[in-house]
Amino acid sequence: MKNVKNVNYWQVDHKIKQIFERKGAVILPSPTAWEKFKWSRAYFERKPKEGYFVWIKKQVDFPLTTCITIASPKISQDLTNLLVIEKGITVKANVICNAARDNLCGTHKARGKLLLKDNTSLEYNHLHRWGEKDFVSPDYEFILGKNSRLVYTYKNLFPPENLQLKTTIRGGKNSSSNLNFIINGLNSRIEVKDTLFLEGKNSQGVVRLRLVGRKNSQIKAISKIVAEVAGRGHLDCRGLLIDKNSTISLIPELICQSKDAQITHEASIGKISEEELNYLRQRGLSEEEAINLIVTGFLKLEGRGVYSN
């Protein structure tokens, strides 16, 4: 990573390169937080091997930035992360996980919990860039307090050979979730599992997936909303197949346990139309350039969906 001046937590392989605390935030390695704050053990479940702990105690005027890098061959990371935001605080987080080179055959496993207490707001940008032979398995749970707001974007344009992505959202009373998953499959085996639980009265959420299958990729996405009480939710799942050797499977699932809930979904899988491709080629683009432009437009999510934060 070239510019680390403002990175709050930076880990390379298993070594912590930098911890940069700012006023209002406590930032520690997860094993240290386990020892120092006994209350954190309820969220860690067991003592972490590695990972980061971030506790936002007061309003901060900076984006929180963490970076986890694999830089050596055949490294196997096993991270446990915890983010806690106290009541009434607004936070932006940029979380970067990547491989420094393309041929490292690394393993990146990460489990995390993110606790948004009442009346908090979090914009969480989760950015991944991996090598062609890496194995990556993130598993994150967001717990939203009353009147809290979450905008979560997972973006992976350079995926590993194997990606298993699991995301769970638990929405409290009057909470709002806006979830975006943007994944470009390239010679990859990808499984996406996301579940939005509408647990608090009048909670709401939108889940949007944009998945591209290229170069012999197999993608499976299981996207679920469970409405336990009165609330609103919407799934928007879309796939784009680029070549004949790739597959995309979209499985939207709605579970309604309250007569006062409203949950909906739309799902589609398509291909690039010849008309669109020919239009761009007539304007001087090569076929590859035209396809890349179409894919870029498909992966770009505009707006905030059906319900706004």
| Alpha carbons 113 and 116: distance in angstroms, whole number | 10
Domain extents for the chain? 9-299
Residue 107 CB contacts under 8 Å (≥ 6 apart), including other chains: 75, 76, 77, 134, 135, 136
Our CA angle for 133, 223, 179, nearest 5°, is 85
CA 182 to chain centroid = 9
Residue 267 zone, left/alpha/beta (φ > 0; ψ -120 to 50; rest) = beta
Residue 302 CB contacts under 8 Å (≥ 6 apart), including other chains: none
Q: Quote the pLDDT of residue 4.
A: 65
Q: Quote the pLDDT of residue 279.
A: 81
Q: Quote the pLDDT of residue 275.
A: 84
Q: Quote the pLDDT of residue 298.
A: 86
CB-based contact 246:216 (threshold 8 Å) = yes
Both tokens of 264, joined, read 């909906």
| Alpha carbons 227 and 171: distance in angstroms, whole number | 10
DSSP for residue 50? B
Query: Which residues is 123 bridged to in the sheet?
Result: 92, 151
pTM of the model: 0.92
Q: Quote the pLDDT of residue 273.
A: 81
| Alpha carbons 75 and 62: distance in angstroms, whole number | 32
Phi then psi for residue 43, to 5 deg, are -100, -30
At what angle are helices 274-281 and 287-299 packed, to 10 degrees?
120
pLDDT 10s per residue in the chain (309 long)?
555 667 999 999 999 999 998 899 999 999 999 999 999 999 998 999 999 999 999 999 889 999 999 999 999 999 999 999 999 999 999 999 999 999 999 999 999 999 999 999 999 999 999 999 999 999 999 999 999 999 999 999 999 999 999 999 999 999 999 999 999 999 999 999 999 999 999 999 999 999 999 989 999 999 999 999 999 999 999 999 998 899 999 999 999 999 999 999 999 999 888 888 888 888 888 888 888 888 888 888 754 444 444
CB-based contact 174:150 (threshold 8 Å) = no
Residue 5 CB contacts under 8 Å (≥ 6 apart), including other chains: none
